[in-house]
Structure 1
Amino acid sequence: MEGTSLYLPIVILLMQCSPSAPVTVSTNKHKVEVQEFSDAVLSCTFRTERDPNPRIEWKKKGKDVSFVYFDGHFKGPFEGRATIDGATVTLRGVTQEDAGEYRCEISAPHDSVNLGETNVTLKVLVPPQTPSCEIPSGAVTGSVVQLRCRDRHSIPPATYSWYKDNQQISPPRNANATYLINSRTGVLEFKAVAKEDTGRYSCLASNGVGPPKMCEGKHMTIEDVNVSAVVAAVVVVCLVIVICGCGGLVLHRNGFFSRHRGRSNVNYIPPPQEPQDFKHTQSFML
C-alpha cells in the first residue's frame, strides 16, 4: 500500500502534463461531383482540445474569397438554399455558379492550436445537350468534305460518334481509310468522297452523366463532276476573251485609243501687237 501511495502523485502529475489533441478538421470527401440541379453535401468534421463551442465558417475561393456560412448564418446566394449539420453543409439545387473550391474553418480560441481547416472541391456535372451539326447538303466526288458536331454545354466534355442511315460509322482501322473520325472534336472528314458516301448523317453526343443526345439527321448527296458542263464553261470563257481582244485591236487601229483623240482643230491666231510695236514699224515721210 505504501508503494502504491508513493506512485499515485507521479501518475497524477503525468496525466496533467500529457498534452491533449488540439483542434483538428477533416472531410470524408475532398472532391464532390454531383449532377446539375441536385443536392451537394460538403463534409466537414472537427475535434477540439478544450473549446466546447468553436466558431464554424465556410468560405468559397475564387477571384475573391466570399463567405458561405458566417456567424451562424448562410450568406449571399446560399441564403435560404443551404443547411448545416455540425459543420457539414448541404447545398440544394446546385448550378454551375456553385462549382468551385470551398474551405471549412474551425476556430477554437481556448485550444493551444486555435485554428484548423479543410478544403472541398465541388464539380457540377451537366448531361449532354442536343449537339449542333454542320452537314453539307452535297459535294462532288473526289473532294474533301468535313462534317462537324459540337455540344458546348456538357460537363465533362462530350465525346461524339457519327451515324449514316441510322447505322454507326466505325472508327477507321488503318491509315488507308477514306475517312477520319475525331471523337473528341466531333469532326468526320472524308479525304475524297465517293458516290457511295451519299446518305443521311447524324451525330450522337455522350458524356456518361445523362442520356446521350443526337442531332437531327441531314441528307448529303455526292455527285460526279459534270465534264461536259466544265468544258462548255471553258469554251465560253475563251470565246469571251477572244472577242474582247479582237474588239480592242479594231478600236486601236481606228484611233480610238489615240493620244490626240478629242483635241479641237482650231486655227492658231497670233496675239495682237501692242501699239508701241506698231509705231516702230511705220515709215516717217517728210
Structure 2
Amino acid sequence: GRLVWKHVLLRGLTRSLSITSAEKSFETAQGEKVTLPCTFVLSEEDEGPLDIEWVLIPADNQKKEQIIIMYAVDRIYNHYYAAMTGRMQFTNPDPRSGDGSLDILNLKSADTGTYQCKVKKAPGVQSQKIQLTVHVKPARTKCSVEGSQEIGKDITLKCASQEGSPLLSYDWRRVSGTQELPATSMLNKNTGELLLKNASQDYSGTYNCVASNRVGTDECSVELNVTPPINTAGIIAGAIVGTLLGLCILAFLVFCCCKKHREKKYEKEVHHDIREDVPPPKSRSSTARSYIGSNRSSLGSMSPSNMEGYTKTPYSQVPSEDFERTPGQNPTFAPSKVAAPNLSRMGAVPVMIPAQSKDGSIV
C-alpha cells in the first residue's frame, strides 16, 4: 500500500505546473534591452484559468510588491507601473504557449531590482525571482595634466569619467614614441592617476586613458610636452623694469598736466590784473583843449619875425593828432603839437600862464 501511495504522489508532482527557465540574475547596460525568462510547463491536472504576473520586489521589505504586467482571462494588462509604461511587453504575445518571459526596452539605471514571475493555473502555482542590474557605461571621460611640465618635475596625468556605474577601472597607455609607459610611472587604476616622477624630455608624447566597467568602455587622450625650466629670474626682472618704466611715464604725464594747469591759471590772473589796474585813457577832447590853449599862449608871445619862421614850416613835417570836435564847430585850422626843442629853434619864448580858480581869480 505504501508503494502505491508513493507512486501516485510522485506522478502528481511530476505532472504539476513547473517553471523551466533557470537564469537567476542579469547584468546589462543602460539603454539596451533585456529579456527576463519565465517559461513553464502545465500538467493535465492544471485545469483552472491561466494567470501570469510580473512583480517588482522592493529593496525595503516594508513596502508592497508592485505589479508591472499581467496576463489574465486571455487578456494582457500593462498599465500598472507608470515608470515602465511603453517600455515593457510579453516576449510572446500569447503566453498560453508556455512562455511568459518579459522584455524591458531602453533600460534605465532605476530599473535595477528584483523581479518575480508568478504562474498560476489551479491547482498549480509556481514563481521565480530574477535579479536585474542595469549598469551605466563610462561616458564623458576627460584627461588632464597636473603639475609643471618641466624637466625634473613630477607630473600627474589624470583621467575621470563623468558617467559610469562602479566599479570603474582606468588604464593608461602611450600611443606615440616607444608606446610604453616610462619606467618611473606609477598607475592607480581606481583613481585614474598616472604619476610620472622626475620627468625627462623623452616622456613627451600622446597618452591615452581607457575607462571601463562591466558593460562598456570610454577613452580620452592628452598631449604631454616636457620642456626645460623657465627662466623665472629674467621674467621677474623684465616685469620690474616694465613696471618702473610705466610709473615714470605716468609721473611725466602728471607733471605735464600740472604745469599746463598752472600756466593757464597764471594767464588768467595776469589778464585780470591788467584790466583792473591800468587807469582809463584821458579824454581826447580835454587833451586837445589843453594843447590848443598851450599853442595859443606860445603863439601870443611870438614876434612877427618868429611867426614868419613858424608859418614857413612845412605842414607835412608837423605831427598831427585827430581830436574830437563838438557839434557845430568848424575850425579853420587844426593846431599841431610841436615839441619844445622845435619851438625853441623856431624862436618861440616860453611863457607861464597863471592858473585861475573856479571864481576867476588868479592863483
TM-score by length of 2: 0.48
Whole-angstrom distance in 2 between the partners of 1:170 and 1:199: 11
**In 2, are the aligned partners of 1:130 and 1:205 still within 8 Å (CA)?**
no
Deviation at 1:181?
1.7
Change beyond 3 A, Cα 1:89–1:194: same
Q: What's 2:52 paired with? A: 56
Deviation at 1:190?
1.8
Q: What's 1:238 paired with? A: none
Tell me whether 1:100 sits opposite 2:113 in the alignment: yes
Q: What's 1:181 paired with? A: 187
Deviation string 1:101-145 (CA, Å, 9 cap, x unpaired) is 21112234x42xx54211122233444424122213734444333
Correspondence 1:161-172 to 2 at 5 A: 161-164=171-174, 166=176, 170=180
Correspondence 1:74-223 to 2 at 5 A: 74=78, 75-76=80-81, 77-84=83-90, 85=92, 86=95, 87-108=100-121, 110-111=122-123, 115-136=125-146, 138-155=148-165, 157-164=167-174, 166=176, 170=180, 177-207=183-213, 209=215, 212-223=217-228
Change beyond 3 A, Cα 1:168–1:153: farther
Q: What's the Cα RMSD here? A: 3.9
**In 1, are the aligned partners of 2:199 and 2:226 still within 8 Å (CA)?**
no
Whole-angstrom distance in 2 between the partners of 1:17 and 1:205: 57
Tell me whether 1:39 sits opposite 2:33 in the alignment: yes
Q: What's 1:267 paired with? A: none
Gaps of 5+ in 1: 1-11, 233-286
Q: What's 1:20 paired with? A: 12
Deviation string 1:246-269 (CA, Å, 9 cap, x unpaired) is xxxxxxxxxxxxxxxxxxxxxxxx
Whole-angstrom distance in 2 between the partners of 1:17 and 1:198: 78
Whole-angstrom distance in 1 between the partners of 2:208 and 2:188: 15
**In 2, are the aligned partners of 1:130 and 1:151 still within 8 Å (CA)?**
yes
Change beyond 3 A, Cα 1:90–1:168: farther
Deviation string 1:203-225 (CA, Å, 9 cap, x unpaired) is 23345755x54325244434337
Q: The residue matched to 2:103 in structure 1 has which SS?
A: strand
Change beyond 3 A, Cα 1:14–1:165: closer
> Which residue identity is paired with 1:178?
T
1:73 aligned to 77, 90, 97, which one? Answer: 77
**In 2, are the aligned partners of 1:137 and 1:219 still within 8 Å (CA)?**
no
Aligned identity (percent) is: 21
Higher relative contact order (CA 8 A, sep 6+): 1
> Which residue identity is paired with 2:21?
T
Q: The residue matched to 2:31 in structure 1 has which SS?
A: coil
Whole-angstrom distance in 2 between the partners of 1:146 and 1:226: 23
Change beyond 3 A, Cα 1:208–1:14: closer
Whole-angstrom distance in 2 between the partners of 1:17 and 1:213: 58
Whole-angstrom distance in 2 between the partners of 1:182 and 1:43: 40
Q: The residue matched to 2:202 in structure 1 has which SS?
A: helix
Q: What's 1:253 paired with? A: none
Whole-angstrom distance in 2 between the partners of 1:200 and 1:15: 75
Deviation string 1:2-36 (CA, Å, 9 cap, x unpaired) is xxxxxxxxxx9998676512443342422234443
> Which residue identity is paired with 2:186?
L
Whole-angstrom distance in 1 between the partners of 2:230 and 2:215: 45
Whole-angstrom distance in 2 between the partners of 1:132 and 1:145: 17
Whole-angstrom distance in 2 between the partners of 1:195 and 1:25: 66
Give the number of the structure whose residues are more often helix, by fraction: 2
Structure with the greater alpha carbon radius of gyration: 2
Q: The residue matched to 2:106 in structure 1 has which SS?
A: coil
**In 1, are the aligned partners of 2:156 and 2:193 still within 8 Å (CA)?**
yes
**In 1, are the aligned partners of 2:109 and 2:134 still within 8 Å (CA)?**
yes
Gaps of 5+ in 2: 238-363
Deviation at 1:169?
5.1
> Which residue identity is paired with 1:81?
R
* Count of residue pairs brought into register by the alignment: 216
Detail structure 1 runs of 4+ shifted over 4 Å in the superposition. 12-19, 155-158, 206-210, 225-229
TM-score by length of 1: 0.59
Change beyond 3 A, Cα 1:58–1:208: closer
Give the number of the structure whose residues are more often strand, by fraction: 1
